[in-house]
Amino acid sequence: MLSTYFRLSENNTTVRTEVVAGVTTFLTMAYIIFVNPMILSEAGMDRGAVFVATCLAAAIGTAIMGLYANYPVALAPGMGLNAYFTYGVVQGLGHSWQVALGAVFISGVLFLILSILPVREYIINSIPRTLKMAISAGIGLFLGIIALRNAGIVVDHPATLVTLGDVTAPAAMLAIAGFAVMVALDYHRVPGALIIAILLVTGAGILLGVSEPGGIFSLPPSLAPTFLQMDIAGAFEVGLVTIVFAFLFVDLFDTAGTLVGVAHRAGMLDEAGRLPRVGRALFADSTATLAGAALGTSTTTSYIESAAGIKAGGRTGLTAVVVALLFLCALFLSPLAGTVPAYATAPALLFVACLMTRGLTEVDWEDVTEYTPAVVTALTMPLTFSIANGIAFGFITYAAIKLLSGRVRDVSPAVLILAIAFIIKFAVL
């Protein structure tokens, strides 16, 4: 039955291979069940409820991806978007987390509509690769400064805005050591390098008395504090338009980029380099975002860590189904998730930041009209603590530089319209 439904023979794989690939993918991305509740709890959300929402949203989205789209791609609340949710929208702009969830839900509805309409490929292809790579890198830098702050390595300063913290403090030293171990484990291709390092730092912190020990297993916490708490009406305020757009934009292009990148590694692209069943894959992603917002978590998106499972031989949706089942099993690890401190998850944030920032290497550094908008985009995100501002400055800068340089053909109608819209937003709102 499994072979027939998932077309295992057609994809030159077996049930055993798919199961191993699913376990590999889960171990590679399981750090999110510790990191996401920690980040969203700083927005005032119940940490236990967010933990449950994280596991359920990941399980639902990944199961749909596997059963409906038949791709070995796993989904979970996206890194960067969860940080923007807490530090940009809630703490930075002063909106409630309920309104922020409403914005995530609306972005999911828009994403679902785009997934169904035939214009989805035009929208994806109309945005220059430079801006796509710069946005990814900017989110990486955004995560990086948050990681350093959570570890106490970077602190605020009245004269210089930021300065070096006390790196001899136990929490900072543990975070630094954890990051080094994490990178070394990843270099040696150890599955689950991030989660192993997180648990090692947590254990070391408990032994040294830096943090308090907790349990490991228990029944899942109540989901009630976050379930269906999104304020959709509040998210329709004019000032939140760019926030909704930021959630939508990053989710759309992050998903498209992840799907194409993972499919390319697995040899799943057709002769024209296109992804078969792309509509189904985008439908799975948008549905996961809707479910996640309803459950109580930030935008759920496809994970590039799925490439680890593909490297282990995963070729069909059975890999994703295995990951979904493991996320359901993880529901019983809530005490452990509550025990993990911020300094233990900081190395994971910094590691993901390094992975995302390397997107700048794909920018054309010989063309000044390409690399200057990229740098502006990437720098604006961490320095304004806002993904939306980075996207806005990126589009405005790209369009202005290209037009003034006489490179009109490089500016698609979509880019020009968005650049004008962002200028109006800054001028009026």
What is the percentage of the chain residues whose pLDDT exceeds 90? 32
Res. 344: pLDDT tops 80: yes
Number of compact structural domains in the chain: 1
| Tens digits of residue pLDDT in 259-298 | 766 776 667 666 655 667 777 888 888 899 999 999 999 9
Question: Given this model, what pLDDT does residue 306 score?
Answer: 82
CB burial string 356-367: b at 16+ within 10 A, e below: bbebbeebeeee
Q: How many CA atoms lie within 13 A of 1 on its CB side?
A: 0
Question: Given this model, what pLDDT does residue 406 score?
Answer: 92
| Tens digits of residue pLDDT in 355-382 | 888 888 888 999 999 999 999 999 998 8
Domain extent for 175 = 2-428
Question: Given this model, what pLDDT does residue 269 score?
Answer: 64
| Tens digits of residue pLDDT in 3-12 | 778 777 777 7
Please choose, from the candidates 178, 168, 170, 175, the residue with its C-alpha nearest in 3D space to the C-alpha of residue 151. Answer: 175
Contact predicate 223/296, CB 8 Å: yes
Question: Given this model, what pLDDT does residue 127 score?
Answer: 78
| Tens digits of residue pLDDT in 197-250 | 988 999 999 999 888 887 778 888 899 999 999 988 888 875 677 788 888 877
| Tens digits of residue pLDDT in 383-401 | 888 777 888 899 999 999 9
Q: Tell me the pLDDT band of 18, cut-offs 50, 70 and 90.
A: confident
